[in-house]
Homo-oligomer: A and B are copies of this chain.
């Protein structure tokens, strides 16, 4: 309850509200001596600017919304950290929302964030629907998509080269002699799942391996999903010598299931993950995986958003970051 307002500082210092406001905003159009005096009074009274009031008047909240699936998914902390570092540097705070990949939650989050008048948004969209994003656009609220994008819709985004990532992973397995590569993909409503599928197929085609749709699974997001798919695959006697998982998390489930079945890795079955999350290196079986620049996804995404907010850029900006194959012991 700092009851001290700009008005109080004005009265005590003897200057007008406008002048005091200028001083406190570091407006250059103010006499240095005045500035000094006002600052001293403000200091002495313990004045604390009310950003809510400032926001109402200036229509800027210096706050941005960050909407992700789940901060507990080891993919996201680095992304969020990248965002926050750049945001802080530019004078923004971030409001964090988890959607758990549920469209309704995403919609609610965006609604709240719109009502709170954030200056912009960074979103890793669920992609089951996108009406909420169109609404954002209609409201002319700047936003940048992170890690996923909508093909036909022209929306600013920053993603990784997942076609190439999946291609590298698959080709690596093929070069190792594998022909029956079980691909446990993510939900196909996500752009990254579709692109990884494209990369997987491309590698097969270029190496003259016929696509076997029985080796294509989709919808995996968590460790349990990988575990379940493998258990089922084995009980139904599916024939495969390698697994390419949608994420390291899914790969962990795969490895767990495979181990329970007594399959040796990488000899009986080779496993490749995706994301290169922390500690993937110190696992029982150090994971071969595709590295995604998570921190940069966040930091560069925030930089783009900042430009979108402050410059009037009309063209859609699309940033694609490189992926990299990390070879360890699991394949």
Residues of A in contact, count (CB < 8 Å): 48
Taking A71-B80, A71-B81, A283-B279 as contacts, is the C-beta distance between A63 and B96 under 8 angstroms?
Answer: no
**Could you say which residues of chain B place their CB within 8 Å of the CB of A51?**
115-117
Each complex incorporates copies of this chain amounting to 2
CA of A257 to CA of B115 in the docked complex: distance in angstroms?
A: 52
Name A10-62 residues within 8 Å CB distance of B: 48-53, 55-56, 61
Q: Is there a chain B Cβ closer than 8 Å to A94's Cβ?
A: yes
Q: Is the CB of B78 within 8 A of A93?
A: no
Shortest CB distance A251–B (Å): 11
Q: Is there a chain B Cβ closer than 8 Å to A84's Cβ?
A: yes
Q: Is there a chain B Cβ closer than 8 Å to A244's Cβ?
A: no
Q: Is there a chain B Cβ closer than 8 Å to A320's Cβ?
A: no
Q: Is the CB of A50 within 8 A of B115?
A: yes
Q: Is the CB of B94 within 8 A of A95?
A: yes
Q: Is there a chain B Cβ closer than 8 Å to A139's Cβ?
A: yes
Q: Is the CB of A114 within 8 A of B256?
A: no
Name A255-308 residues within 8 Å CB distance of B: 255-256, 278-279, 282-286
Which of B52, B81, B96, B115 has a CB less than 8 Å from the CB of A116? B52
Q: Is there a chain B Cβ closer than 8 Å to A173's Cβ?
A: no
CA of A97 to CA of B81 in the docked complex: distance in angstroms?
A: 9
Q: Is the CB of B84 within 8 A of A78?
A: no
Shortest CB distance A98–B (Å): 6
Q: Is the CB of A71 within 8 A of B77?
A: yes
**Could you say which residues of chain B place their CB within 8 Å of the CB of A88?**
97
CA of A117 to CA of B72 in the docked complex: distance in angstroms?
A: 28
Q: Is there a chain B Cβ closer than 8 Å to A140's Cβ?
A: yes
CA of A61 to CA of B48 in the docked complex: distance in angstroms?
A: 16
Which of B55, B63, B115, B282 has a CB less than 8 Å from the CB of A284? B282
**Could you say which residues of chain B place their CB within 8 Å of the CB of A278?**
72, 74
Q: Is the CB of B50 within 8 A of A52?
A: no
Q: Is there a chain B Cβ closer than 8 Å to A313's Cβ?
A: no
Name A112-127 residues within 8 Å CB distance of B: 112-117
Q: Assuming A72-B278, A74-B74, what are 10 further A-B pairs, CB within 8 angstroms?
A: A48-B114, A50-B115, A50-B117, A51-B115, A52-B52, A52-B61, A81-B98, A84-B96, A252-B279, A283-B283
A-B contact pairs, 26 of them (CB 8 A): A1-B139, A48-B114, A48-B115, A51-B117, A52-B52, A52-B55, A63-B95, A63-B116, A70-B81, A71-B77, A71-B80, A71-B84, A72-B78, A72-B278, A74-B77, A74-B278, A74-B279, A84-B97, A85-B98, A88-B97, A93-B95, A93-B97, A93-B116, A95-B96, A96-B96, A256-B282
